[in-house]
Structure 1
Amino acid sequence: MNRYAVIDIGGKQLRVEPGRFYDVRHFTSLQEISRSDVNIKVSINRVLLICHGSEISIGQPWLNDAVVKGRLLHPCFGKKIVIQKIHSKKKKRRSFGYREQLTRFVVDSICLNGRDLKDS
């Protein structure tokens, strides 16, 4: 059975499924996650859409009684983004880059109206 949710996290919309992990940029509730803190439980209330089989619930803008529960696993880095600045007539080139700081989390369950949506 197909079940997923679309959540608003870090200013972006993300399609999540239970049992999978995702890398996100911002968690507004947690400023700094140390390397020793693992399995911090998180509940996300900004759920835009829930699909459970053929039943679809759409919020305006969010669903009232919907929660996506998960755990923060560890901080990680994304791919390196390289920025090059080239001044054509001056023969001046500059290249620098950075790696985005991400947080990896796993989705444990999707709840709607106080009940967990499980495969049946």
Structure 2
Amino acid sequence: MYAVIKTGGKQYRVYAGEKLKIEQIPADIGQEITLDQVLAVGEGDQIKIGAPLVSGAVVTAKVLAHGRHDKVRIFKMRRRKHYQKRQGHRQNYTEIQIGTISA
């Protein structure tokens, strides 16, 4: 069984037992969370698609860790204009493990 969930402005296709890094959410490590924005639920060749959400569908997950992704380097330059700009960014994330998917 799989589900398509929406969190942090992104959509993820998740399976039970899968580990996933999502946008940071305020939850303690080891805490069970529920993701109720489920866009679709499927099992085999059957699929339930919401409009926009599947009513009553819930995905539970356990928070494993919080961290930061690798640094992304941004470099901007305009030739012959004596302009160079260097910048870096590290995005925060929350690592979760999907528990149960109920439709």
TM-score normalised over the length of structure 2:
0.91
Give matches, 1:9-24, under 5 Å: 9-24=7-22
Q: Give the 4+ runs in structure 1 shifted more than 6 A.
A: none
CA apart distance, 1:96: 1.7
**One-letter code of the match for 2:2?**
Y
TM-score (norm 1): 0.79
Pick from 70, 83, 86: which aligns with 1:79? 70
Paired position in structure 2 for 1:48: 39
Uncovered stretches (5+) of structure 1, i.e. residues with no partner: 113-120
Tell me the C-alpha RMSD between the 2 structures: 1.3
Q: Which residue of 2 aligns with 1:97?
A: 88
Where does the alignment leave 5 or more consecutive residues of structure 2 unmatched?
none
Q: Is the 8 A contact 1:9 1:26 kept in 2?
A: no
% of aligned pairs identical?
Answer: 30
Residues in 2 aligned to 1:96 and 1:60: alpha-carbon distance in whole angstroms: 41
Instruction: Give the one of 2, 5, 22 matched to 1:4.
Output: 2
The count of residues paired between Structure 1 and Structure 2 equals: 103
